[in-house]
Structure 1
C-alpha cells in the first residue's frame, strides 16, 4: 500500500490555492492542514480540498505532518523554512527564500547540515519545452553555448499592492529566468548589466520598474540577454533560445489551441495564452510531483534546491544594483 506524504500548506492566497489543488489531487499526497493568518480563508480552502485549518505551530509540531509547503508572503519564507527544517519536515518553499540575500544566506547556512528534503519554487524548470531544450543541449546537438536570448513578457499588470510587496521586478519576475539560465546552460552568471523603466505604470517609478533589459556574461564565456515586461497587448510571451557553435535550440512562445485561417491575402493565427498562469499552470504540479518522488527516495534530476535559490537571488541582487547604478555589476559568489 502506498504511503501518503501528509502535507501542511502555509499560506492560502492565490498561489497557495494553486498548491492546495495540486496537493489534493496528487495520488501520493494527503493535504492534511491549511494555515493562514487569515483563519477564515484557511477554513474555506481547507473545506474545499478536504483538509482542516490550523496553526503553523500545529503543522510544525505534529507527528501527523511529514512535509510543509510554504506559500505565504515572501517576508515570512525564511523564518518558516528554518522552523520547518528544524522540525524535521520536508519543505517546498516558494521563491525567493527572503528579500534579503544575506538573510537567505544565513538561513541556508544554518539548515543545510540538517538532512531533510527541501526544494525552492522554480517551477519553470518543469516546462516540457524548456526541458526538451535542455536535454538536446546536453546531448551536444548545437555545440557549446554562445548566445542565450530570453523573453518574459506578462500580459496584464498586477495590482500595485502586489508590486509594493514583491521585492521588485528582478526578485519577483526575472528571478525565474536567472534560474532557468543557470539550469539550462549548467553555467554561472558572473556579471550583469540592467536598464529599466516604469513605462506601463509610471506611478511605480519611485520603487520599481515594469520594463527591463538585461545583459549577462557567463563563466564559460557565453553572453545572455533577457527582456521583461509586466504588460503586453497580445498575451503571455515566454521564449528562450540558445545559439551554439553548431546551431540553435529554441523554446518558443506557445499559442492556445485553434485553427489558423488563411483567407484572401491575410493569415489569422490563434493567439498566445491570455496570462502567465495559463501558460505555466501545469509546471506547478510537475514540480510537486518531482518533490514527492524525491521525498520517497527517488533520484530526481534538476530539482531546484537551496543553493539554486541563493544563486538565482544573487543574480537578481546584482541586477537590481545595476538598475540603480547604471553600470555592470559582478554577481556575488555563494
Structure 2
C-alpha cells in the first residue's frame, strides 16, 4: 500500500501523567512532529513542553483542533471530556488517539463513534496491553490455531495498591477503570465477542470503595459467542506487585503467560528458592507496550492501514463493563445483546 504522508503533525490534549508519557514517546519518532499541547493547567507544563521540543502550549484545546496543519490529536484529558472532544476532533477532520475508556457511558460512546464514522477519520483507543509482547503472543497463538478452539480463558489482573480516594470517586468504578483492560484482552485473545456477564464483588481492601459505591475485589464470569467460558479475577491490592497473568485452554492445548520481573534470576539456598517480585506497576510493566502502541497508530495513519485497536473495541469493552456493573447490582447474569438493543433504541 502506498504511503499517504511522509510526516505527521500531532496535537496533544491533556498533559497529566499519561499525556506526558505519550508525548515523550511521540517526540522520539522521526516521522512525527508534536506541534502543540493543551492543558487547563498549562502553566505547570510549559517548561517540560519546551524541554522536549513542543512549540505551542495552550489552555484551550480548540486551538489544536482549529489548526489546519495538525493531522491527528491525542486525547489524554479526564474521561468525562473524551466523547465531546472526539466529536469535535472528527468534525475538524483530525484522526484521533483516545485514552481508555472513551466515556463512562456506552450511550455517549455510541454517539461519538457515529460522528467518527460520519467524518471518516481513524480512532484508536488506548488499550495498551494489546501491544505488550506477552499478550500479543497469546493472541497470535490462538489466532494461528496452535491450541485449537478456545474453551477456557483465565485472566488475573491485580494492582499493587489501591488508588487515592479522590481518584476512586471519579474513576467510574473498578469495571470501567481497571477491569475494562481485561474485558478488551478477553475479546482480543479469543477473537470472539462476549455475550453474557456475571459478577461477584466485594470491598475487602479498603472501606473507601464501598463508600463510593464501588468494589475492590471481583470475580467476573464471561460467556463468549464462540462457546468459550472466561473468568477474570481482579483486586486493587496485591502486596507482592503488579499481577498480570493469562491462560487460554483449548481443544489442542493451552497457552499461558506469567508476570514480567525485573530480572530472571532465581536464587536457591538452604533457606529456600527466591526470585524478585513482579514489576511494580503499569508504567513499568507496559513501558514498551506504550511505545509500540504509538508506533502502530502513527504507522496506520501514514500507511492508511487498519488500526489494531478501534473505537468499536473501546465500545465493546464498555458494554462489558456496563453489564458487569448491572450484574453486580442485580445479582444475575446480563446479556450484552440486551444492552446493545437498549442503547440503539434510546
TM-score in same-fold range (> 0.5)? yes
Give the 3-state SS of the residue equivalent to 1:296 in structure 2: helix
Contact 1:90–1:118, Cα closer than 8 Å, also in 2 = yes
Choose from 73, 82, 88 the match for 2:87: 82
> Structure 2 CA distance, aligned partners of 1:299 and 1:131?
19
Distance in 2, matches of 1:232 and 1:105, equals 34
- The answer to whether the Cα contact below 8 Å between 1:153 and 1:238 also exists between their aligned partners in 2 is yes
**Does the 8 Å contact 1:322/1:329 carry over to 2?**
yes
Matches for 1:1-334 after TM superposition, within 5 Å: 3-51=6-54, 52-54=56-58, 55-206=60-211, 207-300=213-306, 303-331=308-336, 332-333=339-340
> 1:227: Cα distance to partner?
0.6
In the TM superposition, residue 298 of structure 1 has moved relative to its aligned partner by: 4.8
TM-score normalised over the length of structure 1: 0.96
User: In the aligned structure 1, how far is the partner of 2:119 from the partner of 2:48?
Assistant: 31
Gaps of 5+ in 1: none
Indicate if the aligned counterparts of 2:116 and 2:122 stay in contact, CA closer than 8 A: no
Q: Give CA deviations for 1:189-214 in whole Å, capped at 9, x if unaligned.
A: 11111111121111220321111110
* SS of equivalent residue, structure 2 residue 286: helix
Q: Deviations over 1:94-125 (max 9, x none)?
A: 11111111111111122212211210111110
Separation of aligned partners in 2, 1:296 and 1:43: 29
CA RMSD of aligned residues (A): 1.6
Paired residues of 2:91 and 2:115 also in contact (CA < 8 A) = no
CA distance, structure 1, for counterparts of residue 193 and residue 262 of structure 2 = 34
Query: Is the Cα–Cα contact under 8 Å of residues 193 and 329 in structure 1 kept in the other structure?
Result: yes
Distance 2:270 2:7 in 1: 58
Cα separation, 1, equivalents of 2:227 and 2:264: 41
Structure 2 length normalisation: TM-score? 0.93
Cα distance in structure 1, aligned partners of 2:133 and 2:189: 13
User: What is the CA–CA distance in structure 1 between the aligned matches of 2:9 and 2:274, rounded to whole Å?
Assistant: 48
Give a deviation string over 1:174-201, Cα, whole Å, max 9, x none. 0111111111111011111111112111
**SS class of match (1:116):** coil
Report the secondary structure of 1:108's partner residue: helix
Instruction: Give distance in 1, aligned partners of 2:144 and 2:219.
Output: 30
Secondary structure of residue in 1 paired with 2:234: strand
Matched residue SS, 2:43: helix
Give the conservation status (yes or no) of the 8 Å contact 1:155–1:276.
no
Deviations 1:107-150 (A, max 9, x none): 11222122112101111100111111111111111110000000
Unaligned runs of 5+ in 2: none
CA-to-aligned-CA distance 1:280-302 (integer Å, 9 cap, x gap):
121111111001000012535x6
